[in-house]
Amino acid sequence: MKILVTGAAGFIGFHLCEKLLQENHEVVGLDNINDYYEVSLKYDRLKELGILQTDAQLFDKLATSSRYKNFSFLRMNLEDRENLSELFESQGFDVVCNLAAQAGVRYSLENPYTYVDSNVVGFLNVLECCRHNNIKHLLYASSSSVYGENEKTPFSVFDNVDYPISLYAATKKSNELMAYTYSHLFNIPTTGLRFFTVYGPWGRPDMALFLFTRAIDKGEPIKVFNQGNMSRDFTYIDDIINGIKIVLNNPPELKDKEDKHAPYRLSNIGNGSPESLMDFINAIEKGLGKKAKKELLPMQPGDVPQTWADISELEKLGYKSSIKIKDGIPKFIEWYKSYYN
């Protein structure tokens, strides 16, 4: 297939591109390479895919990979409606994986407009391009944050998610509603992927694993919220990519336009079992051979004490989560030590 992956310089997007390329799909990667976290990491991910930084820095210019003959990359903002439309028209994509978004729950408290521009306006542009260019399946990143303070566990895609507690979560919920509308009106198969705390090599520096590893390694204190009484459905990147691949190959069933059922699906992608934050920290300590200095703090606004994915719907398609933190964290730390010398 010919696949557009937006957010290709991001953590999940980079790993997805690599996997798709190894399976001989033709891939075009798109990213605006914003400075939400260190851009050097984004350029280094692209370098792994054979794209030089000098080429990746240029806006609206397609760069070809020196490593994969079936990969090219374009720096572009999703808000750029005109150039995005031209890209879709010229490339003839079969499938779109929209992983580009302004990420981060806490950052959305400080920079709300950025989230609406990227996650709402940008997503609308993607939907319009899919509508006018015969896209066979649109996958897009939603988030476990849409569940808010949901007290029922595990979190199911059939649960009510009308009460987001951060603007980031609200934009992800809006993406799901917008996708449903386009599936219903224009018969576009869409799948929303609710990711649960993804970690692994090449991960995001603003995520807990990266922040904790860096601080513990330097002998600095780590911030442990809610006095450490938290658990997360930590999901290793390889499981996430396998889940995306399964969904990619199983688009929601197309129905007749008279049928009220739209070709629309939501999927949780997680580990399927939460693990405690303290066990997570212990695994990092063990991997580094250093003890953490813990600064115990109250719960932050927009945060939740537990996430837990009900992955039964995805398991029906053949998904199986296989990597626990005791195995996944050492792989991250091995990469971290190598990357930072």
In sequence order, which residues have a C-beta less than 8 Å from that of residue 230 and are 6 or more positions away? 276, 277, 305, 306
For 53, 74, 78, 155, 182, the CA distances from 84, given in Å and listed in that order, are 22, 10, 7, 35, 18
- C-beta of residue 166 within 8 angstroms of C-beta of residue 109: yes
- The catalytic residue among 115, 140, 168, 182 is 168
What pairing do the DSSP bridges indicate for beta strands 198-199 and 190-195? unpaired
**Considering only CA atoms, which of 188, 182, 190, 211 is closest in space to residue 281?**
211
DSSP 226-256: GGG--EE--EEHHHHHHHHHHHHTSPPPP--
Please, is 137 exposed, middle or buried when counting C-beta atoms within 10 Å of its C-beta (0-12, 13-18, 19+)?
Answer: buried
C-alpha 194/C-alpha 209 separation (Å) is: 20
Q: Tell me the two tokens of residue 206.
A: 């603003």
Count the Cβ atoms, other than its own, within 10 Å of residue 263: 19
Q: Which residue has the tokens 């999927």?
A: 267
Report the alpha-carbon angle 213-217-222, nearest 5: 60
Is 168 catalytic? The answer is yes
Report the alpha-carbon angle 213-214-215, nearest 5: 95
DSSP 280-340: HHHHHHHHHT---EEEEEPPPTT--SB--B--HHHHTTT------HHHHHHHHHHHHHHHT
Which active-site residues does the annotation give?
168
